[in-house]
Amino acid sequence: MADRREIDWLGWGTRFVLFTGKGGVGKTTIASASAVALADAGRRVLLVSTDPASNLADVFQMVTGEHPRPIPEVPGLDIMDLDPHAAADDYRSRVITPYRGVLPDAEVAALEEKLAGACTVEVAAFDTFARLLADPGSISDYDHVVFDTAPTGHTLRLLSLPAAWSDYLGDNPDATSCLGPLAGLQDDRPIYAAAVATLKDPLSTTVALVARADRGALAVAAAAAEELHQLGIDHQMLIVNGVLTHPLAGDPVASAYSHVQQRALGTIRENLACLPTAVVPLIALDLVGVAALRRLASGPTGGATSRDARPAPVAAPRITALVDDLERGGHGVILVTGKGGVGKTTVAGLVAVELARRGHRVHLSSTDPAGHAAATAADLPHLTTSAIDPEAETQRYTDGRMHAAARNGLDQAHLDLLAEDLRSPCSQEVAVFQAFHRLLGRGRNEFVVIDTAPTGHTLLLLDVTGAYHRQAIEGVGQQFRHVVTPLMRLRDPDYSKVLIVALAETTPVAEAKDLQDELRRAGIEPYGWIVNATLVDSGTADPILESRTELEQAQLARVATIAPRLWTLPWNPEIASAEPTVP
């Protein structure tokens, strides 16, 4: 592996820097600290979030928007959030307006329906990104443009779609998809071509792959590096965040913590091992506000909280108490959700394994494209596993649509148009939903534990579930009032229990609260929260880890006022690096 040196916060040799990686690895923190350091060095910097779940406002403790806003404490630094929902509204208007009064009203209405899907929000955000990247005029005042991008899956689609659109527009000028009538986008081809060229230019763009020193995050970074390479984007570097660089000698917790991290780094894949690599040391700071970002860039420190201000301990039951509660129902669906990187897969595996060990029939599955819930499960006689592979589900869905169309006598020209339309992002969304729907039905006879996707994906899934619910209710007559839709199952507290997983850190807790609010707006009441990997009560004397336990106590106290129920899962080296066991 390349030498692992501490990060040079000013060492960005390109104008554009994009931070990507698995959710929860600290992309926003690293991007923000880099932007602050560059501005403090006298450079003009624009920090942009393209993440639908952006938390720049939380980090800088100010209101953000879709236009650059200066940071008062950091002369030379502006920040902006690209609002994907506002971008979607603009995108729909731009696509549909030319056809009003030209096409029949029925066709315009059909186009509006096609563009009403959640994938259009994602496409519109990418369109906005491409325009910003390709428009020198809008960013001419800045020496550096730093992108705090979405989690890896979103980012890779963001980077690949401009090229895909360019090819698609060239090959299919008369086609239509969830992008809208593609002939109407022909004028945008230069924008997408310019964006692609900028991303591929090693003198213009650096892609920083951010990971934690754990196997899952490093595996995602390796996959991202390979996909970027396939796209022709090769100017990459690896940043390993949160490394305990100087564990206290003789402290068993600190030694185990460091050992787990070093073991993970020892498994790094070859395509990452050859990249320039930088380490960001673990520090005992609540990384909110400009002062904290500046301290991060100055090196590790301890004693982040005052002894006099130490919060009162929060007494929360362990995860075994949660399993006691769950098994009383005898069967049903248990959805484990939350921000990426908080340990959903670990929690889902622990719950499923413990229910199976107690003699219950359990099925463990995942709807997370980056999840590996089935791989965490022990070989138990009552436990079955599966995983929803988005690509396989999309292929199954596409094949079914094509075969049905052929059986109905659709001619080849229309079959070709249908095939092109089924290549849109909407098809994957529908296909994954159908597989999710099948999983929900199994809860009638057994426990179904679902390791769901990161927050943005989960809400996307619930959006589709809600649309299905509305269509089902509107499409049945009085005699079919007994119909049970997926949303009905998710809203039934006796049938489905939603568990929100978080870490005892400011941003994960804030995003978990946002998720809880979104679930409630959909009529789904979360069953409770699990705060994962806490160091509280670990007994460590390491100054960094000990100070972090005090920060965790403050967050646990906050969660106790937010969550309907609360359980904790202590940090454990066996759980962090091996098969799950319930503590």
How is 167-207 classified by DSSP, letter by letter? HHHHH-TT-EETTEEGGGGGGGHHHHHHHHHHHH-TTTEEE
pTM for the full model? 0.76
State the helix-helix crossing angle for 152-171 and 189-200, rounded to 10 degrees.
Answer: 130
| Mean pLDDT score, 147-169 | 55
pLDDT of 476: 59
- Pairing verdict, β 74-81 and 69-71: antiparallel
- The residue with greater pLDDT, 115 or 335, is 335
If you search the block for the tokens 């949160």, which residue do you land on? 242
Nearest partner of 262 among 251, 246, 248, 274, judged by Cα: 246
| Mean pLDDT score, 500-529 | 88
The share of the chain scoring above pLDDT 70, in percent, equals: 75
Q: Which residues contact 250 (CB under 8 A, 6 or more apart)?
A: none
Would you say residue 571 has pLDDT above 50? yes
- The residue with greater pLDDT, 361 or 482, is 361
Instruction: State in Å, rounded, how far the first CA of the chain is from the last one.
Output: 35
pLDDT of 162: 52
Would you say residue 480 has pLDDT above 70? no
Domains located in the chain, CATH noted:
4-298 (3.40.50.300), 319-577 (3.40.50.300)
| Mean pLDDT score, 49-67 | 80
- The residue with greater pLDDT, 86 or 125, is 86
Would you say residue 326 has pLDDT above 70? yes
| Mean pLDDT score, 366-386 | 67
Would you say residue 175 has pLDDT above 60? no
Nearest partner of 264 among 189, 331, 211, judged by Cα: 211
Q: CA 115 to CA 179: how far, in whole Å?
A: 7
Q: How confident is the model at residue 102 (pLDDT cuts 50, 70, 90)?
A: confident
Which range has the worst mean pLDDT, 57-66, 103-112, 161-170, 190-199? 161-170
The share of the chain scoring above pLDDT 90, in percent, equals: 33
Which range has the worst mean pLDDT, 276-280, 307-311, 488-492? 307-311
How is 369-432 classified by DSSP, letter by letter? TT--HHHH----TTEEE----HHHHHHHHHHHHHHHHHHTT--HHHHHHHHHHTTSHHHHHHHH
pLDDT of 123: 65
| Mean pLDDT score, 466-482 | 61
If you search the block for the tokens 């002369």, which residue do you land on? 75
Q: List residues bridging with 529 in a β-sheet.
A: 500, 566
pLDDT of 511: 82
Which residue type occupies 164? Answer: A
Q: How confident is the model at residue 34 (pLDDT cuts 50, 70, 90)?
A: very high
Q: 355-366, pLDDT tens digit by residue?
A: 999 999 999 998
Q: 520-549, pLDDT tens digit by residue?
A: 887 889 999 999 999 998 899 999 999 889
Q: What's the chain's average pLDDT?
A: 79
- The residue with greater pLDDT, 101 or 308, is 101
Q: How confident is the model at residue 559 (pLDDT cuts 50, 70, 90)?
A: very high
Would you say residue 391 has pLDDT above 50? yes
Would you say residue 258 has pLDDT above 70? yes
Would you say residue 417 has pLDDT above 80? no
**CA–CA distances in Å: residue 311 to residues 113, 409, 504, 559:** 52, 70, 13, 13
Q: How confident is the model at residue 331 (pLDDT cuts 50, 70, 90)?
A: very high
